[in-house]
Amino acid sequence: MTAAAPRLAAVPSEAAPKVHARLDGVTRVYPPRAGHGEVHALGPISFDLRAGEFFSVVGPSGCGKSTLLDVLAGLAVPSAGSVEFEGKPVRGEVPDGVGVVFQEDASFPWLTVEDNVAFGLRRAGVDAAESRRRVDFAVGFMGLKDFRRAYPSQLSGGMRQRVCIARTLVMQPRLILLDEPFGALDQQTRLLMGDELLRLWRETSATVLLITHALDEANLLSDRIGVMSARPGRFIDIVETGWPRERDSRLAERPDFGAVTSRLWSYLRGESLRALGQGSAAR
């Protein structure tokens, strides 16, 4: 706790933002299996997630972005190093106050939209009246009011992803981790979902970590963007965007918007080529 990561906390100490989660020298190595040897997927990575910030992670495919999220969420145990959330170590279990939205459709096809959204509440010991209030809010917030009694199969992919976000939202997480949640959606829907995500982030004042492969999306949504190298993934740089807290997809019209995307791409072009090279060499 005492030794702050000096590499990233370049801000004077009295103005230093509160650390919400911390990764310290985290690596993840997969043991050798039939067909390939040991795979060094991630790290070592050290960085602090500041309380209330919107942080995105971009990187070439296969660089360990999802592994980073799994380790941070407690869904995977790091091979070395440590993870902390709100000052407590995270190891092999998702801490209370962390919500995850996955890339794949994780809605439960056998439950209605409202039962999907309410899924975690009973287990968390939330009483019926409070549950109803939270579900009403989340369903309304995500624009699912007219579909409360629908089953996921009756919804589009974007709406199903909203169901999953609402299901995470009702748990009132203080840290929301999103693993390419809009990966399967078309560009227009992505932009609108991005706006909703920003609204959600502002209104809940949660810390958000978003994994994405879309540089524009990362730029638009984030306070800071971590750029990862090809496998084993490490941060090449962490870019501060400096955007105002009140923002939406119209930010892309700003003249300085393109400069940030260009900077991200200048980092990633080489890494992406390397990642491609790795792929063909493995074959």
Partner 1 sequence: MKVGKAKADNRATWIRVAVLASAVGALEIACRVGWVPATMVIAPSAMVKALIETLQSDDIGAHLQQTLSAVAIAMGLSIVGGFLIGFVLHWVPFLRRAFNPFLAAYYAIPHFAFYPLLIVIFGLGPAPLIVLATLFAMVAMIVATMAGLDRVPRVLLKTARMHRLSLLEEIWRIRLPAAAPHLLSGVKLAVAYSFIGVIAGEFILSTSGIGHEIAYAYDNFDNPRMYALILFVLAIVTCFNMAVYAYERRLARRRGA
CB neighbour class for 32 (10 Å; exposed up to 12, middle 13-18, buried from 19): exposed
Among 15, 33, 34, 123, indicate the residue that binds partner 1 (CB under 8 A).
123
The answer to whether residue 195 forms part of the interface with partner 1 (CB under 8 A) is: no
The answer to whether residue 106 forms part of the interface with partner 1 (CB under 8 A) is: yes
Q: What are the Cα distances from residue 116, in Å, to 126, 147, 171, 209? A: 15, 12, 12, 23
Task: Copy the structure tokens of residue 32.
Answer: 């050798």
The answer to whether residue 108 forms part of the interface with partner 1 (CB under 8 A) is: yes
As a whole number of angstroms, the distance between CA 11 and CA 240 comes to 12
The answer to whether residue 169 forms part of the interface with partner 1 (CB under 8 A) is: no
Rg (CA), the chain: 19
The answer to whether residue 276 forms part of the interface with partner 1 (CB under 8 A) is: no
The answer to whether residue 33 forms part of the interface with partner 1 (CB under 8 A) is: no
Instruction: Please list every residue from 66 through 85 that binds partner 1, using CB under 8 A.
Output: 73, 75
Q: Considering the complex, what minimum distance in angstroms separates the CB of residue 171 from partner 1? A: 8
Among 32, 80, 91, 104, indicate the residue that binds partner 1 (CB under 8 A).
104
Q: Considering the complex, what minimum distance in angstroms separates the CB of residue 198 from partner 1? A: 23
Q: Considering the complex, what minimum distance in angstroms separates the CB of residue 202 from partner 1? A: 23
The answer to whether residue 186 forms part of the interface with partner 1 (CB under 8 A) is: no
Q: What are the Cα distances from residue 128, in Å, to 123, 132, 202, 204? A: 12, 6, 27, 22
The answer to whether residue 237 forms part of the interface with partner 1 (CB under 8 A) is: no
| Contact stretch for partner 1 (CB under 8 A) within 8-16, 27-35, 105-113, 253-261 | 105-113
Nearer of residues 29 and 106 to partner 1, judged by Cβ: 106
Helix (H) / strand (E) containing 274: helix 257-282
The answer to whether residue 30 forms part of the interface with partner 1 (CB under 8 A) is: no
As a whole number of angstroms, the distance between CA 234 and CA 278 comes to 16
Question: Please, what is the angle between helix 157-169 and helix 187-204, to 10°?
Answer: 10
Instruction: Please list every residue from 128 through 167 that binds partner 1, using CB under 8 A.
Output: 151-154
Q: Considering the complex, what minimum distance in angstroms separates the CB of residue 267 from partner 1? A: 30
Q: What are the Cα distances from residue 108, in Å, to 118, 139, 172, 193, 281? A: 11, 16, 20, 21, 39
**For residues 111 and 122, is the Cβ–Cβ distance under 8 A?**
no
Task: Copy the structure tokens of residue 1.
Answer: 């706790």
Nearer of residues 120 and 279 to partner 1, judged by Cβ: 120
Q: Which residues bind partner 1 (CB under 8 A)?
A: 73, 75, 93-94, 96, 98-100, 102-106, 108-110, 119-120, 123, 151-154, 168, 171
